[in-house]
Amino acid sequence: MNKEVRIQKIHEVIERDKNRTDLLNHEIMWEKQLKTEKVFNIPLSYLIYNKYNGRILSRTKSLEKQNQAINVETDEGRNLIEKLLWESKIDRNKKTELSIKEFGQQKVGIITKDGVIIDGNRRAMLLNKVDRTGYFKAIVLPVTLEENPIEIERLETTYQMGEDEKLGYNPIEKYLKAKQIFDKLTPKISETEAIKTISDWMGESEGEISKYLDTMTVMDEYLEYLEYDGIYTQLDSREDQFLSLTKWLNTFYGESSKKAFDGYTDSDVDDLKIIAFDFLRFRNEYDGKEFRNLAEGNSDKHFFGDKEIWESFSSKHNEIIRKLPNEHEIDFNSNNLEKHLNARDKLFFESSIFENETSAFLENLNDHKYLIGYNKAADEPEKLIKRASQTFEAIKTGHKAFAKPEVQRMVRELGDKIFNSLQKKSPSRVLSHIIELLESIEVDKIPVDEVEEVQDKTKRIQQIGYQINKNL
């Protein structure tokens, strides 16, 4: 059924039933006026879905980016939209479907005069699932979508983004919706006026709308960085991290924040953004809260707040990146691009598992997370020494890996640090420690081939002891 036929059929229903007294009346705000409109029973076969409705906007935009045309007037297009609507909230859809089977359609929808569903796409999908020969209770607007796009956008947004309905949306949709409206409004009104308008439509503060738009900008940058432009499905399960990153960038750019290390530059903030993008990419491979270690809170709580820690962390991160193999080209013709890109991101993460079972990315993050803890406990040496002692005790010193030259080198360096700290504080403690070490030597177990060397060293100890006594 084409557009002209739908207009005629819907008009016939209105003319036939406009004087019926048994039909519902419903109030609607249209063109800044509260109007009471009759609710008509429109055959489902006269209707088409709105492919850009806010509930599935990220999905349809992603598909169209892949050059997949979505013609809602065809069976193929209709079936695709129904699939996307069903998958948007499966649990909620199952409950609503049972309610429709038992009680019928409870909430009135809104359609244009040519049958495009403005509010109620999900309900219409469920009604079609139950009985395609059934009816849709709806107010009929006196225009098509093309005749008054801004007013219809307002109507759709106020209905779909109300407090009760907002919960039913996937998180990314609201950011994309705000951007879509902003782009439609700004050619006609100022950015400030556009934000105020969106605030009214979405029932959010102007500050919240600004946050949505800023976050969406960072989301688009992320997709562009990965060459995933417009594939909004790759933003799923990352909302909290994007909100954090957007806040950090707004705070740090300008080189004046006290929450960053002294002397940082906007170039350092650029580095932070790119590293954050890498961690966002494999977000599903670690606890999302770990992301906060990059730059969340006051300067003593994160990597970007300490110059030495940040330079060490970022340097190691870039070193890991250089070690990774070249990635395969993106197959934009894939039958399932979302699955293809998810697999690509997973391989990016798994490629960082070099010699053990832990990703070098996460190893680097955890190593520097401990440094933040050490800095916080710098004035509590007892706590840190106890922690270091427990860590060393956990090492299997009998394992062959412990005998590796590089491991032994690190053990010696650790011993030197401990010894030097004793020496600086108290020569007496150093000597006491030396005595304890000498007394622990089991002479009868000294290998024959080391006896001569031990004798030379004991003579040297005697000489040093004599010299100390003489100087005292």
CA gap 128, 150 in Å, rounded: 29
199-257 pLDDT, tens digit each: 999 989 999 999 999 999 999 999 999 999 999 999 989 999 999 999 999 999 999 99
* pLDDT tens digits, 6-64: 999 999 999 999 999 999 999 999 988 999 999 999 999 999 999 988 888 888 888 88
Mean pLDDT of the chain: 88
CB distance 17 to 27 below 8 Å: no
Instruction: Identify which has the larger pLDDT, 413 or 179.
Output: 179
- Smallest CA-to-CA distance from 150 within 115, 121, 189 is with 189
pLDDT of residue 64: 83
Return the pLDDT at 424.
56
State how far the Cα of 179 lies from the Cα of 194, in Å rounded to an integer.
Answer: 10
Residue with tokens 């050490």: 374
134 within 8 A of 148, measured Cβ to Cβ? no
Give bridge partners of residue 137 from the DSSP assignment: 41
End-to-end CA distance of the chain: 108
Lowest-confidence segment of 83-97, 237-251, 268-282, 430-444 by average pLDDT: 430-444
The pLDDT tens digits for 135-174 are: 999 999 999 999 999 999 999 888 877 644 555 567 888 9
260 or 159, which is more confident?
A: 260
Name every residue whose Cβ is closer than 8 Å to that of residue 185 and which is 6 or more positions away in sequence: 150, 193, 194, 197, 198
Q: Is 123 exposed, middle or buried (0-12, 13-18, 19+ CB in 10 A)?
A: buried
Extents of the domains making up the chain: 3-164, 170-234, 237-394, 404-439, 441-472
- Rounded to 5 degrees, φ, ψ at 375 are -60, -40
DSSP type of residue 265: -
How large is the greatest C-alpha to C-alpha distance in the chain, in angstroms? 120
The whole-angstrom separation of Cα 341 and Cα 331 is: 9
- At residue 82, φ and ψ (nearest 5 deg) are -65, -40
pLDDT in tens, 425-444: 577 777 877 888 888 888 88
Cα distance between residue 326 and residue 348, in whole Å = 9
Percent of the chain having pLDDT more than 70? 90
CB 105 within 8 A of CB 75: no
Q: How far apart are CA 297 and CA 467, in angstroms?
A: 55
Q: Which two tokens stand for residue 58?
A: 């990220």
pLDDT beyond 50 at 94: yes
* 419 pLDDT higher than 70: no
Across-strand partners of 36?
A: 27
Type of residue at 334: S
Which residues lie closer than 8 Å to 10 by C-beta, 6 or more apart?
42, 46, 111, 113, 114, 115, 140
User: 293 falls in which pLDDT band (50, 70, 90)?
Assistant: very high
Q: Which of 65-69, 192-196, 429-433 has the highest mean pLDDT?
A: 192-196
- Tokens 């509010």 belong to 119
Predicted TM-score (pTM) of the model is 0.75
C-alpha dihedral (98, 101, 103, 108), degrees to nearest 10: 90
φ/ψ region of 157 (left if φ > 0, alpha if ψ in -120 to 50, else beta) reads alpha
Quote the CA–CA distance of 269 and 73 in Å, as a whole number.
48
- How far, in Å, are 84, 442, 445, 457, 459 from residue 451 at the CA level? 80, 12, 10, 10, 12
